Structure 1
Amino acid sequence: MLKRIFIASFCVLTFGTFTYELKAQDTFEITDPTQNTPQEYTIKSVTVQGNESTREQFIINASSLTVGRQITYPGEDIADAIKRLFRSGLFADVEILIEEISLSDISLIIKVTEKPRLIEYKIEGVKRSQRKDIEALLTITPGVAITEAVIAKAKNTIHRFYKEKGYWHTKVEASIEDAPDLNNRARLIFDVDAGVRLEIKDIKFEGNEAYSDRKLTKKMKPLKEDKWWKILSKKVYKQSDYDEGIANVLAYYRKNGYTDVRVISDSVFIYNYVKDLDGVGVTITLEEGPQYKVRNITFDGNTVYTDEQLTAALEFEEGDVFNQEKFELNLTFNKNSTDVTSLYQNIGYLFFNATPTIEKVAEDSLDIYIDIYEDEIATVKEVGFTGNTKTHDDVVRRTLRTVPGNKYSRDAIVRSIRELGTLGYFDAQNLQPDIIPDPNNKSVDIIYRLDESVSTDNFEFSGGYGGQSIGAIISARVNFNNFSIKRAFEKGGWTPIPSGDGQKVSLGVQVTGQGYQSYSVSFVEPWLNGKPTSLGVNFAYNLINNTRFGVGKSELFSGSVSIGKRLKWPDDYFSTRTTLGYQLYDVDQTTSFQRAGITNSITLEQRLERNSVDNPISPTVGSKISLSGELALPVKGFSEYYKIKSSYQSHFPIVDKLVLTSTADFGYIGYLTKDRRSDFQRFLVGGTQLQQRQSFLYDNIDMRGYPGGIGQSIAPFENGVQTGGRIYNKFSLEMRYPAVQNEQIQLIPYTFIDAGNSYLNFSQYDPFELKRSAGFGVRLFLPILGLVDLSYGYRFDGIEGATPQVLAGEWEFLFNIGAPF
């Protein structure tokens, strides 16, 4: 006779009562299994019933009732198996039946009722934008079992989303909607009440004596207190902002010697700040502790540097207030590489280690002990790189400052990354070195991971307006920044553009509706004959036809050849360039001071430059200074002049990615003779390259807020005619923040203040008599288009005599293409 014993479902087990059901083909009786004598049985077989989506073997394994296992019956083994299956969360009901039992063996049937599987989920009661954001955070996929754990995890995610947005009293209800046309399938519905978005109305500190509440509240950024004048954004409570704000407050204390500062307690609460209006209040209780000062600094184990040299690197003296952040930076790594670790690692001591011990003495003093482990000098064994699928290996290798066989140098690695980034072939944000030390052999391997996903070539297309006399301007330029002439003559080299040797080819054209045309072609070989010597060749033709205005046309043909070289002294940031140029001017007739006819000049220019800027598009650190002298040779039949120009720019990080840039430019043009003086290449200030190109007879200086071009530039007038200045200077301050930086786009908003002027001669020169402007703008870099610069500037001063008028108190929109740095 086949006997089956039915064990009640888990919901009955929770009441501590087990009911067993005995069935026979012809009889039915209920027995109390507790009256049976427990006996050990070997599981002979296990059969699973009722499973549709869950694998049979998974259910057997989850229950632990595997074939061959010994169990005690009656006992806890079968009850424990039911509990384990319920804990998996996959089943709405579980039964375990005894199919057959003998003196030593037992056969079982596991009968399950699965929870429904998900068809889809819906989020109701929220805005569409919020729903999309929540969906991006949820990890629920169709086909998953709808378990309590799945629902709880989703609800917690929704709650966290709204909490980070500053919402309070968020409610999330979940319901399951069966799909009648599909077996064991259901929809999961989340009904969301976002709650209310409350602003922070009060931030209070308790226990603070060294600094006021107002001071500490400012340090709580990004958490901010709402004030009536702060109308541009809501000052809501976010846990991440609060955590960061607390960390900033504690860091501020520790920078000022309060190393024992701690938060004793804090509370975040909702209160009625005015009638019927709720706000968020924050109270933070601090224990400041004493302000510590440095008493003694002691080094042990140092042989390469003296105690005095290492103390100077730490930048602490006896009696100084202890700044924990400064101490850590100057011991491990600061941006100037003047820290203790850099001192050692830049001369090869890769395995150097410094272990500080800070002891508190008296009530407010610190003794600092630093144990130095110098070890031996490490040698660079191998230098490799990966990811350069297009750029040739020798182009990368010649850029690196880390060379096999040399001593290890941290500065050499940092410099290599900078140089690779400024090439423009690789994504500067993703340049990463893998440093693989070998302590046993005192050597190190360095592997640079390169990312060529950003295109180095670009097509620039732009439009602008050059004033009433010029009209609309259309400009196009194709730049191949990693060209290869060698591959251009090889079979299969055009795929689609021969590239990889780091050469630069540029083709440009610009036309206007009022008769202006410009064509240019240039080529640069940055490494001539495998040496850090560059060769550049440039040709350009410019034409402006003003016959409709009764003035005639002007043409300029120019060409140049240049040789540049990287220098090692005073340091290897210096470079020099020598340029030999030829210009032919053909002016039919003019209303300006420039005489009509053909004028030739042969120029020789020498430029000295030091450039430590880390990024030509949006520098964060470094500076660039240049000094150039240009001479139009006083050869018979050629016009002459000499020109001196200097420029300086410095980039300083303020906080996070916010950068302040200051620039200063100066120029002077003079003459060696009286009868062969050139009328060309005087200075016009204002506008950008798009507006200035039609005034190619001058040397145009960019300045935002002013239109530029012929008749509307900042330049002196003689007898009612704008002549161009022989002297100019320009100053600028710019603050920018790269809001978006990824492989597809870089978006860099900025604000600026510009001031500049040009003067007829030194007798009229006044460096404080400047035309001023201020405004804002944005730079947009797209790999296919290059860098686009849009600025909107307000000018504080007008230009007397300008035609059309350039008045003070007006805004000027300017459009430009190309890197400003």
Structure 2
Amino acid sequence: MLKRLSLALVIAISFGTLSSSIKAQDTFQLTDPTLNTPAEYTISSVVVEGEESTREQFIINASALTVGSTITYPGEDIADALKRLFRTGLFADVQILIANRTSTEISLIIRVEEKPRLIEYKIEGVKRSQRRDLEEMITLLPGTAITESNKAQVINTIQRFYKNKGYWYTKVETRVEEDPELENRARLYFDIDPGVRLEIKDIKFEGNEAFSDRKLTKKMKPLKEDKWWKFLSKKVYKESDFEEGKESVLAFYRKNGYTDARIVDDSVYTYVYVKDLEGVRVVMEVEEGPQYKIRNINWDGNTVYTDEQLTEALGFEKGEVFNEEKFDENFSISETSVNSMYQNIGYLFFRGIPTVEKVAEDSLDISFEIYEDEIATIEEVSFTGNTKTHDDVVRRTLRTVPGSTYSREAIIRTIRELGTLGYFDPQNITPELNPDQNSKTVDVNYVLDESVSTDNFEFSGGYGGQQIGAIISARINFNNFSIKRAFEKGGWAPIPSGDGQQVSLGVQVTGGGYQSYSLGFVEPWLGGKPTSLGVNLSYNLIDNKDYVTQVSYGKTKLFSGSVSLGKRLKWPDDYFSQRTILGYQLYDVEGFTGAFQPGISNVITVQEVIERNSIVNPISPIMGSKFTLSGEIALPLKGFSEFYKIKADYQSHFPLTEKLVFTTEANFGYIGYFTQDKRNNYQRFLIGGTQLQQRQSFLYDNIDMRGYPGGSNESIGPIVNGRKVGGRIYNKFSAELRYPAVQNEQLQLIPYTFVDAGNAYLDFSEYDPFNVKRSAGVGVRLFLPILGLVDLSYGYRFDGVQTTSGQGNLQPGKWEFLFNIGAPF
């Protein structure tokens, strides 16, 4: 018989980074030596001790020592339980004690010592801006156990952050400081050494024969190699740029017929490029493969279009180098692609399966299996997202109606015209198609985003020189007004809106004695038909003063009104529209006003305007063109002034890249007279400045031009007998390159560069389209929901202008800053 003794069984298991000992102990007296023999026991109870923040049941479940389960003791089951608990990372020490044991059952105690919980973490050793950026990325919350896993996760985040900024050799050290006043609570510190920010000094290619290293390096964008002249920004290595650059290189190869091209190996490392300066070298090994050319193009299954028509749309000829990008674009992506040709005439369920077969060493045979299916009919058309704009306004804009044949082109046109309304964000108009192949129908739903503010308040102030003085201009535009709701109860909330009508109120005054008041109204859909009605009234007054003595030597007044009717046209195509304008102007000239004789002049005009407009996105056009031709006649009635005027404007917008847009514009105008004895200087052409300056020259037809000031005296125009009389003919040419840098709901920021040239001529005897005043410069357009479109330009004029201001001519080689509110297109 063994004496009664207390047996402590200790199981010590070592884990690489664990410093704690893991123990299992008996706490009872053994009387039978057979109890030391391994045997199976059923767990009758489990008690957890020492837990503070961790739930008891979580600890039991993590250990897998649940009541009712069977374990072998002595054996590996308790040791495995200890390992599982340590792997959670929550505990500094764990013990499993045997509280009681019979021949068939065992009771256990799990005693834990938790790791400290986080009070807060702090980042040290870096700039405040970097610290803020890191804090937004780190998801370490107070109360979390401070574990090796959590620390490693944060360290990885920090190193990734600096790696993406081009830093090398980033080091992060951690320390835990327990709070003496709070039990088991601690602060975690990350001490960061960002390392050094190294630039890419060398990009090398190996195995390339078709293209030089220089050519391929240019295709590695956005990854760039540093050169001495590229001093505006650091050319650092970023993993994302590197991966994107590799794809760009391979796309370039595939675009030039090398469809098998691949990068078989790459390496990025630092090296000393001069003395003790380090840089980054990127090396890529390329396997080009052969350059493939097209041998045959075959079509099978097509009945709607001939082989020749489809091959022409595909844009390839036999013997041509295979361009993968062009192939994808012309077969399924572009508006003139094979896929679009079918979908534009209703074949929504059209499928074309291309097979590209490599033949010989460098040739391709391309075959297409065409499944035309049947024409699809539009079953239902709906729209969502118009919270303010009434359904009728949206519905009348749709070019897809129930019962009509499906057309991809009609959907694209609908998106464009919904965006042109100005009520919805053009970038976020999304068509959702729900096709049913069994019934050959499709439902179309347009998802609209009415986050764009349709109303805006324009307010500006400035100084126009001694003659003009201070300028204050204000205008309020309601671009989605509803007269009907204005007379309904609750319609003013705060402005009656939703019917697409436009109302504008404007006022401008200057210290130089100028006043202007205007009111405008447009109903774009008169009587439920696509006919627009416009009404405009304005009153302008100039008190002509000597800007030195402030003595008035005459006043000029203008009252004008107009009514216009416009409609859409379907010929030559449905991008055309026509507008007829009946106008009346009363000029009242008192005293000396330069080129105009004192007295009252009445003018009744009839103007006809034909316009074709296919511009996409009116605020910042990304593509399309606009051509406007107008003819205006001041009726030769007794006692009325008379003239006739012809104007033509053309602009084209061409995307060079996904965002970079190139715009060209040409303008021409001519004014003539029916009888020589009724010739006058009203409504002749002056060039220069912006609308804010030109409103004071309401006696003229003012043409915007950057780099040159406006106003009658300093504008570009002919001078007769020392007086600027305005030209009977004008030409203006413009080119612009712009990039929408910021586009969101709160702001659109569109910087641009420009070149302008223009002149106004007295008559055809002096007309020379090559004798123009030139300017170039930079500018930016800002679209703010409240203020509307604001244009700021800074132009350099290459040519001088003769003035009549008494202050000398405008000298060439000067910069001119101009400010304008309103769209230039």
RMSD: 2.2
Residue in structure 2 matched with residue 794 of structure 1 by the alignment = 796
Residue in structure 1 matched with residue 40 of structure 2 by the alignment = 39
Give the stretch that moved more between structures: 200-209 or 556-565: 200-209
Query: Does the aligned pair in 2 maintain the 1:5–1:97 contact within 8 Å?
Result: no
Residue in structure 2 matched with residue 706 of structure 1 by the alignment = 708
Mapped partners of 1:58, 1:377: distance in 2: 61
Residue in structure 1 matched with residue 811 of structure 2 by the alignment = 807
* 1:675 alignment partner, SS class: helix
Mapped partners of 1:458, 1:18: distance in 2: 72
Opposite residue 201 of structure 2, the aligned amino acid is K
Shift of 1:441: 2.1
Which deviations, in whole Å up to 9, do the C-alpha atoms of 1:37-67 show, x marking residues without a partner?
Answer: 22142x3333322222222222233233333
Structure 1 residues 315 and 185: CA distance shift in structure 2, 3 A: same
Residue in structure 1 matched with residue 106 of structure 2 by the alignment = 106
Mapped partners of 1:4, 1:386: distance in 2: 77
* 2:656 alignment partner, SS class: strand
Mapped partners of 1:341, 1:481: distance in 2: 38
Query: Does the aligned pair in 2 maintain the 1:124–1:190 contact within 8 Å?
Result: yes
Query: Does the aligned pair in 1 maintain the 2:538–2:561 contact within 8 Å?
Result: yes
Shift of 1:484: 0.7
Opposite residue 583 of structure 1, the aligned amino acid is Q
Residue in structure 2 matched with residue 433 of structure 1 by the alignment = 431
Opposite residue 698 of structure 1, the aligned amino acid is Y
Shift of 1:80: 2.5
1:187-206 equivalent positions in 2, closer than 5 A: 187-206=187-206
Residue in structure 2 matched with residue 232 of structure 1 by the alignment = 232
Mapped partners of 1:3, 1:587: distance in 2: 122
Structure 1 residues 691 and 23: CA distance shift in structure 2, 3 A: same
Shift of 1:31: 9.5
Give the stretch that moved more between structures: 389-398 or 138-147: 138-147
Mapped partners of 1:471, 1:345: distance in 2: 60
Pair 1:820-2:824 in alignment: yes
Pair 1:724-2:722 in alignment: no
Residue in structure 1 matched with residue 451 of structure 2 by the alignment = 453
Find 2:354's aligned residue among 342, 346, 356.
356
Shift of 1:10: 5.8
Query: Does the aligned pair in 2 maintain the 1:353–1:372 contact within 8 Å?
Result: yes
Residue in structure 1 matched with residue 400 of structure 2 by the alignment = 402
Mapped partners of 2:20, 2:678: distance in 1: 114
1:289-308 equivalent positions in 2, closer than 5 A: 289-308=289-308
Opposite residue 327 of structure 2, the aligned amino acid is F
Residue in structure 2 matched with residue 491 of structure 1 by the alignment = 489
Mapped partners of 1:9, 1:535: distance in 2: 93
Mapped partners of 1:537, 1:204: distance in 2: 67
Structure 1 residues 409 and 100: CA distance shift in structure 2, 3 A: farther
Opposite residue 807 of structure 1, the aligned amino acid is Q
Opposite residue 730 of structure 1, the aligned amino acid is K
Mapped partners of 2:357, 2:161: distance in 1: 44
* 2:602 alignment partner, SS class: strand
* 1:551 alignment partner, SS class: strand
Unaligned runs of 5+ residues in structure 2 are: none
Mapped partners of 1:774, 1:399: distance in 2: 39
Structure 1 residues 20 and 218: CA distance shift in structure 2, 3 A: closer
Pair 1:389-2:387 in alignment: yes
Structure 1 residues 417 and 106: CA distance shift in structure 2, 3 A: farther
Residue in structure 2 matched with residue 480 of structure 1 by the alignment = 478
Mapped partners of 2:5, 2:475: distance in 1: 90
1:279-290 equivalent positions in 2, closer than 5 A: 279-290=279-290
Query: Does the aligned pair in 2 maintain the 1:7–1:95 contact within 8 Å?
Result: no
Shift of 1:624: 0.8
* 1:177 alignment partner, SS class: strand
1:113-192 equivalent positions in 2, closer than 5 A: 113-192=113-192
Residue in structure 2 matched with residue 636 of structure 1 by the alignment = 638
Query: Does the aligned pair in 2 maintain the 1:650–1:663 contact within 8 Å?
Result: yes
Opposite residue 598 of structure 2, the aligned amino acid is A
Structure 1 residues 634 and 88: CA distance shift in structure 2, 3 A: same
Query: Does the aligned pair in 2 maintain the 1:10–1:93 contact within 8 Å?
Result: no
Opposite residue 60 of structure 1, the aligned amino acid is I
Opposite residue 531 of structure 1, the aligned amino acid is K
Residue in structure 1 matched with residue 80 of structure 2 by the alignment = 80
Shift of 1:684: 0.6
Residue in structure 2 matched with residue 677 of structure 1 by the alignment = 679
Structure 1 residues 29 and 258: CA distance shift in structure 2, 3 A: farther
Mapped partners of 1:381, 1:74: distance in 2: 75
Query: Does the aligned pair in 2 maintain the 1:294–1:321 contact within 8 Å?
Result: yes
Residue in structure 2 matched with residue 767 of structure 1 by the alignment = 769
Query: Does the aligned pair in 1 maintain the 2:26–2:97 contact within 8 Å?
Result: no
Give the stretch that moved more between structures: 787-796 or 114-123: 114-123
Structure 1 residues 12 and 306: CA distance shift in structure 2, 3 A: closer
Shift of 1:228: 1.3
Query: Does the aligned pair in 2 maintain the 1:6–1:97 contact within 8 Å?
Result: no
Opposite residue 811 of structure 1, the aligned amino acid is W
Find 2:571's aligned residue among 569, 572, 582.
569
Q: What is the count of residue pairs matched by the alignment?
A: 815
Mapped partners of 2:111, 2:44: distance in 1: 17
Opposite residue 640 of structure 1, the aligned amino acid is E
Which deviations, in whole Å up to 9, do the C-alpha atoms of 1:284-304 show, x marking residues without a partner?
Answer: 221111111100111122222
Give the stretch that moved more between structures: 315-324 or 549-558: 549-558
* 1:399 alignment partner, SS class: coil
1:10-49 equivalent positions in 2, closer than 5 A: 11=14, 20-24=24-28, 35-41=36-42, 43-49=43-49
Shift of 1:87: 2.1
Query: Does the aligned pair in 2 maintain the 1:715–1:759 contact within 8 Å?
Result: yes
Query: Does the aligned pair in 2 maintain the 1:466–1:709 contact within 8 Å?
Result: no
Give the stretch that moved more between structures: 426-435 or 573-582: 426-435
Give the stretch that moved more between structures: 653-662 or 543-552: 543-552
Shift of 1:467: 3.0
Mapped partners of 1:641, 1:75: distance in 2: 112
Give the stretch that moved more between structures: 285-294 or 481-490: 285-294
Mapped partners of 2:681, 2:522: distance in 1: 30
Opposite residue 389 of structure 1, the aligned amino acid is T
Mapped partners of 1:735, 1:783: distance in 2: 24
Mapped partners of 1:168, 1:29: distance in 2: 66
Which deviations, in whole Å up to 9, do the C-alpha atoms of 1:180-202 show, x marking residues without a partner?
Answer: 22222222211111111111111
1:413-812 equivalent positions in 2, closer than 5 A: 413-547=411-545, 548-803=550-805, 804=807, 805-812=809-816
* 1:816 alignment partner, SS class: strand
Give the stretch that moved more between structures: 615-624 or 236-245: 236-245
Residue in structure 2 matched with residue 312 of structure 1 by the alignment = 312
Residue in structure 2 matched with residue 328 of structure 1 by the alignment = 328
* 1:529 alignment partner, SS class: helix
Mapped partners of 1:648, 1:68: distance in 2: 87
* 1:536 alignment partner, SS class: strand
Shift of 1:69: 2.8
Opposite residue 731 of structure 2, the aligned amino acid is N
Which deviations, in whole Å up to 9, do the C-alpha atoms of 1:225-280 show, x marking residues without a partner?
Answer: 11111221111111222222221111111111111111122221211111111111
Mapped partners of 1:355, 1:237: distance in 2: 40
Please give the TM-score of this superposition, normalised by the length of structure 1.
Answer: 0.96
Which deviations, in whole Å up to 9, do the C-alpha atoms of 1:143-202 show, x marking residues without a partner?
Answer: 222222221121111111111111111111122221222222222211111111111111
* 1:601 alignment partner, SS class: strand
Opposite residue 52 of structure 2, the aligned amino acid is E
Shift of 1:76: 3.1
Query: Does the aligned pair in 2 maintain the 1:4–1:99 contact within 8 Å?
Result: no
Opposite residue 38 of structure 2, the aligned amino acid is T
Structure 1 residues 39 and 526: CA distance shift in structure 2, 3 A: same
Shift of 1:312: 0.9
Opposite residue 521 of structure 2, the aligned amino acid is F
Which deviations, in whole Å up to 9, do the C-alpha atoms of 1:528-565 show, x marking residues without a partner?
Answer: 11111111111111111114354311111111111111
Which deviations, in whole Å up to 9, do the C-alpha atoms of 1:310-353 show, x marking residues without a partner?
Answer: 1111100101110000001111111xx11011111111221221
